Structure 1
Amino acid sequence: MADQTIKHVSTARILLLGEAGVGKSRLTDLLAMSIDTPTHSSRTVGNLWWSVQVRLHEYPSNKGMPPTPEWTSASSPSSSSHSSEPFASFKGFRDRAASACEMIPYFVEFYDLKSSMRMPREHRNRLFRNIDGIILVYDLLDMRTHDNLHDLLYHPLRQICRYRHNRLRPILSRHHVPILVVGTKLDMLQSRRLHRSGGIAYQLSTDEILLNCLDTDSFAEKSRNEAKLRKFLNNAIDFKHFFPARRN
């Protein structure tokens, strides 16, 4: 991780959307849990309307990445050589690539609206326009919570498009804010549902994770879920940089 003081670490904001009872609070606990923030008190930020948890994320910066060696091309004469030079070249390329990929620390804030609090519209809109990624959460035991995600997504996405793209874009635009879909209560599912081509993850061309929010290993290191989460957070940071929020 880069040698930076806390005041120099940038912040990415992630919004969790889903109906009450689908497991957003439990999911936020899992998402924010890390070596740097192992306990709930170490990662929770007080807020009147939102439950906010924070974690540190390492974002890879590939600036200075050396070009791919010519011998890796299928049409390169050296690719068919019996010499050991290509393998030596690959090792050198790999070592240079690893050293060139600097890991930059970011704070990631996960926002979950407190269902018992009615947040003023102007405060809600101010937060929405500064959101860098959205996690849609539904209950695998109640697919109505999945179908209702379209309605929950509309207003936040409209604000993000207005203040990040400078105009109202179609919801399914390919440059929309990064979105991750999460289905909860996998442990209570009696039979595994088949992949639905009409699901919201398919419509948004985004990743979907099915998990048990009570399982602390749901995002274990090097697991498929952890890879999807890391990809999503990296995309959210990319979105933050390429589409900065307008002030008004």
Structure 2
Amino acid sequence: MEQQTIKHVATVRILLLGDAGVGKSRLTDLLARSEDTPTPSTRSVGDVWWNVQVRLHEYPSNMLIGIPPTPDWTSSSSPSTSTHSSAPDQFPPPNTCKMIPYFVEFYDLKSSLRLPREHRNRLYRHIDGIILVYDLLDMRTHDNLHDWLYQPLRQICRYRHKRLRPILKRRHVPILVVGTKLDLLNSRRLSGTGKIATQLGTDEILLNCLDLNSFNEKSRNEMKLRKFLNNVVDFKQYFPIRRS
């Protein structure tokens, strides 16, 4: 990786969504943890409303870029017709590969605070990726993810595309689904088309947030996370924020 000063390193923002108590804060600790930032105090960014932790991600500049397709299901209030995105489906890779550093900020709303809608929406329009978190022991938290996703997607539709777009049509913000408390689960309770990850057409990770080895290098979880973070960088590059 080429040497760069901190002021030249771009930042992507990822929003964690899910019910209280599903393990979003512990998951954030796990996602942002590294050898250089072993404790939350070394990777946390002060914010009144949000718990924010930061990690460094190396993005391969010559990867074949294509934002993953979004789900076919739409909000009942969404129009039935879709508009064409200005970003091509694929972008040819350059001749050489270099690793480009990006700061990744993980945003988890502080449960003790009731954030005004205007403040919440102001962050949503800057979000480059979403992680949906649910408790494997309580599948109601899984069903509630549809409700958590609706308002952030409305703001992303408005500010990250050249025109208003139907909710969850064709290509959209990268999404990753995470089920927590795997160590306490005796049997899998959800399968098939009922899973939100299946509906979204995205990856799902099941883990124990207290296991520091959950994202070991070259593990399946680490590969899914790296793929997701690469898609997040793609989204930031090809769907910049626009003014309404």
Letter in 2 for 1:55: R
Tell me which residue corresponds to 1:129. 125
1:59 and 2:55 correspond: no
Following the alignment from structure 2 to structure 1, what is the Cα–Cα distance between the partners of residues 234 and 191? 29
Q: Which residue does 1:114 correspond to in 2?
A: 110
User: 170-179 or 100-109, which moves further after superposition?
Assistant: 170-179
Q: Superposition RMSD on alpha carbons, in Å?
A: 1.5
1:198, 1:26 → 2: CA distance?
Answer: 26
Report the equivalent of 2:71.
none
Structure 1 residue 174: deviation in Å?
2.4
Deviations 1:29-84 (A, max 9, x none): 00001123222111001111000000000000018xxxxxxxxxxxxxxxxxxxxx
In structure 2, the residue matched to 1:189 is 185
In structure 2, the residue matched to 1:41 is 41
Match of 1:174 in 2: 170
TM-score, normalised to structure 1's length?
0.83
Q: Secondary structure at the match of 2:103?
A: strand
User: Counterparts in 2 of 1:140-159, with a 5 A limit?
Assistant: 140-159=136-155
Residue by residue over 1:114-145, the C-alpha shift from the partner in whole angstroms, topping out at 9 and shown as x without a partner, is 11111122211110000000000000000000
- Are the counterparts in 2 of residues 17 and 134 from structure 1 also a CA contact under 8 Å? yes
Q: Does 1:198 align with 2:194?
A: yes
Residues 215-224 or 161-170, more deviating: 161-170
Any gaps of 5 or more consecutive residues in structure 2? 64-92
Considering only CA atoms, is the larger Rg found in Structure 1 or Structure 2? 1
Code of the residue aligned with 2:13 in structure 1: it is R
Query: Cα distance, 1:167 vs. partner?
Result: 3.0
Q: In the TM superposition, what is the alpha-carbon distance from 1:194 to its structure 2 partner? A: 5.2
Q: Percent identity?
A: 79
Give 5+ residue unaligned stretches, structure 1. 64-96
- Superposed structure 1 runs of 4+ greater than 3 Å apart: none
Partner of residue 29, structure 2 = 29
Q: Corresponding residue for 1:14?
A: 14
Match of 2:3 in 1: 3
Tell me: higher relative CO, structure 1 or 2? Use CA pairs within 8 A at least 6 residues apart.
2
Counterpart-to-counterpart distance in 2, 1:62 and 1:35? 27
The answer to whether structure 1 residue 214 and structure 2 residue 210 are counterparts is: yes
Question: Which structure's residues are more often helix, by fraction?
Answer: 1
The number of aligned residues is 214
**Range with greater deviation from structure 2 (125-134 or 30-39):** 30-39
Whether the 8 Å CA contact 1:36–1:56 is kept in 2: the answer is: no
Query: What is the alpha-carbon distance in structure 2 between the residues aligned to residue 143 and residue 134 of structure 1?
Result: 20
Question: Which residue of 161, 177, 181 corresponds with 1:165?
Answer: 161
**Deviation, structure 1 residue 147:** 0.3
The corresponding residue for 2:234 is 238
Instruction: Give the TM-score, by structure 2 length.
Output: 0.84
Q: Say whether the 8 Å CA contact 1:36–1:55 is kept in structure 2.
A: no
Output the amino acid matched with 2:28.
T
Quick check: 4-13 or 28-37, which moved more? 28-37
- 3-state SS of paired residue (1:187): helix
